[in-house]
A and B are shown apart, each in its own frame.
Chain A
Amino acid sequence: MTPSPPSAHPSGISLNHVTKNFGRKQVLTDVTAELPSGRIYGLLGSNGVGKTTLMSLICGHQFRTGGRILIDGIDPVENPMVLQRTCFVHEDQLYNDSFSVRDILAVIPAFYPTWSAETADRLVTRFRLPLDTKSKKLSRGQRSALAITLSLASRAAYTFLDEPYLGLDASSRSILYDELLAEYAAHPRTVIISTHLIDEVADLMEEVVVLEDGVVAVQTDVDEARAACFIVRGREAEVRTLVGDREILTERHLGTILSATVRGAVTPDDRTLAERTHLTIEAASLQEFVAALGLHALDEVARKTEVAS
């Protein structure tokens, strides 16, 4: 089967009503999204919502229950030409215990025609990876450093980073961010980062995809996502007046004071009203937004269960 030239197909990842069940448990209920290539995406959402599952489905590591997944217009499952452009080192990646770091770095280039030895060498030095240590003896941070080295050096057109910073100290995280941006600037590719450390990594992202309740709750440009909600704080009655009928994602009470995370952008009228009624308005960080979405979803589930019972 002759491979078709890349330009013949729309590039990017296409997810169409993707579902995934594990036994009776439905993890992904209807994931639909278009991810044009060449951008850095943040894949966000609470623990267990299915970020790793979704990435596994895209790369064919797991089999989807339903729906369609396309990479560059082609179904990636068992397609060597498409899959060799992907790289997905899991957060809990298994390596052959008897392989040393050196062994692994010697073998993986065979999988990627795009491999950059120079990038690999540079990252090994910067992260101070111990070349002769067996994979099973690596610390959590060293495993992450190895995963990052392999992922960035692969120069795979679709690179997936699954919680890449676990176990890395602050200076190593700096190295990760700097190297990722430098590589991306010099050799653009599609990068999908699944992360909990949202605020720290937010600046690297161009677009965010937030998973909640088995679906894509939000997919926007990172600046819009950061403006997606705000926090207003003050006396409860005045807060509720300002909020009006907008959706409140979370509420925190302290006596008569209410701190509410409100969905939507702050308007100039909001600011005027706030100044007059002695309320404070604060931008919510991306992390707070995603957390609020998650908590809100949990509340909805709880409320539905209550109503049903």
Chain B
Amino acid sequence: MTHVRPNLRLYLANRTGVLLTPVVILTIMLGLSLIVAGFIGIATGFPLPEGTVVRMRYNGGALYCVPGFLLSVGVLAMNRNFSMALAFGSTRRNFWLGTSIGFILTSLAVGVGTVLLLGLEILTDHWFINARAFDVVALGSGDPVQAFATMFVLSMLSLYTGAFFGTIYRALGTVWTSVAAVGLGVLALSAGAAFLWKWDVIAPQVVGWEAWFFVALGLVTAALMAAASYGANRSATV
């Protein structure tokens, strides 16, 4: 643990970037959702009518805004922080472990931030105008545990995916990174296609779980990306 801690501190050296910024992004997403809701309300009157509310229940903004940024955090961690860690005598394994703990902290921040904003949304009776950004189907329709779990898993998946690509780039260069990106895309699409093809077999199994199914899927994928990034890290050079 003595050798893992410096790498965690390295990750947290820019605390604002890795802990605060993702939550700020969620807040910006909230702001944009409210602005859009505001414009709709000007036409339809406040509070927003049932038809709009139904549509807003499917607001996936929370799911879209976070991955992009966290992907880049993952890439930079593996690219830049990795170079520094090796220069100052760390092993690849300890770097991966320290950075992973950092990823957990970032994901916790996102999860907690989501729950807090969800709480605020419910307390303010949906921002006083019946607008929805966090009380949405994608996050479990107001269930804080599911909202936390979904955002936590999504964050981990984004971070490790970024880390994986960042490491492939370090270990094998530009060409292989493109190959990996294409390969991953193909894999994801085939999995999605197989999924839909066998939907009638899968659906009954899933009925009890519903949205938790996707959390579980996300968790498995995140674990796979974590393992992939660990494997790639072992061959990475500076």
Q: Are A93 and B83 in contact (CB-based, < 8 A)?
A: yes
The complex places the Cα of A150 from the Cα of B10 at a distance, in Å, of 15
Main secondary structure of the interface of B (DSSP, over half): helix
Q: Are A86 and B89 in contact (CB-based, < 8 A)?
A: yes
Known contacts A80-B3, A110-B6; is-contact A98 B88 (Cβ 8 Å):
no
Q: Report A19 CB to chain B, min CB distance, Å.
A: 16
* CB closest residue in chain A, given B8: A110
Q: Are A107 and B80 in contact (CB-based, < 8 A)?
A: no
Q: Are A61 and B86 in contact (CB-based, < 8 A)?
A: yes
* CB closest residue in chain A, given B5: A110
Q: Report B80 CB to chain A, min CB distance, Å.
A: 4
Q: Report A108 CB to chain B, min CB distance, Å.
A: 6
* CB closest residue in chain A, given B84: A95
Main secondary structure of the interface of A (DSSP, over half): loop
Question: Which residues of the other chain, B, contact A90 by a CB distance below 8 angstroms?
Answer: 83, 87, 238
Among B50-58, B90-98, B122-130, B199-207, the stretch that binds chain A is B90-98
- Which listed residue (B76, B81, B88) contacts A111, Cβ 8 A? B88
Q: Are B87 and A110 in contact (CB-based, < 8 A)?
A: no
Q: Are B14 and A99 in contact (CB-based, < 8 A)?
A: yes
Instruction: Please report the number of residue pairs spanning A and B whose Cβ atoms sit closer than 8 angstroms.
Output: 84
Q: Report A117 CB to chain B, min CB distance, Å.
A: 16
Q: Are B91 and A83 in contact (CB-based, < 8 A)?
A: yes
* CB closest residue in chain A, given B170: A94
Question: Which residues of the other chain, B, contact A97 by a CB distance below 8 angstroms?
Answer: 76, 80
The complex places the Cα of A103 from the Cα of B93 at a distance, in Å, of 23
* CB closest residue in chain A, given B76: A96
The complex places the Cα of A108 from the Cα of B5 at a distance, in Å, of 11
B-side interface size class: 20 to 34
Question: Which residues of the other chain, A, contact B81 by a CB distance below 8 angstroms?
Answer: 96
Asked if B45 is at the interface of the complex by the 8 Å CB criterion, the answer is: no
Q: Are B3 and A103 in contact (CB-based, < 8 A)?
A: no
Q: Are B6 and A94 in contact (CB-based, < 8 A)?
A: no
The complex places the Cα of A90 from the Cα of B82 at a distance, in Å, of 13
* CB closest residue in chain B, given A96: B80
Known contacts A90-B238, A95-B80, A110-B6; is-contact A60 B86 (Cβ 8 Å):
yes
Q: Are B89 and A156 in contact (CB-based, < 8 A)?
A: yes
Q: Report B77 CB to chain A, min CB distance, Å.
A: 8
Q: Are B91 and A112 in contact (CB-based, < 8 A)?
A: no
Question: Which residues of the other chain, A, contact B237 by a CB distance below 8 angstroms?
Answer: 56, 61-63
- Which listed residue (B13, B76, B80, B91) contacts A79, Cβ 8 A? B91
Top 10 nearest A-B pairs (CB, nearest first) are: A110-B6, A94-B83, A111-B88, A96-B80, A61-B238, A80-B3, A84-B89, A83-B89, A111-B6, A107-B13
Q: List 16 A-B contacts (CB under 8 A).
A: A61-B87, A63-B237, A78-B92, A84-B90, A86-B89, A95-B83, A95-B84, A98-B17, A99-B14, A110-B5, A110-B10, A111-B85, A112-B88, A150-B88, A154-B88, A156-B89
Which of A's residues lie within 8 Å of B, judged by CB?
56, 59-63, 78-80, 83-90, 93-99, 103-104, 106-108, 110-112, 150, 154, 156
Q: Given contacts A90-B238, A111-B89, A156-B89, could you give 19 more A-B pairs where the C-beta distance is less than 8 Å? A: A56-B237, A59-B86, A60-B86, A63-B237, A83-B89, A83-B90, A83-B91, A85-B89, A88-B87, A93-B84, A94-B83, A95-B80, A96-B13, A104-B13, A107-B13, A110-B9, A111-B88, A150-B88, A154-B88
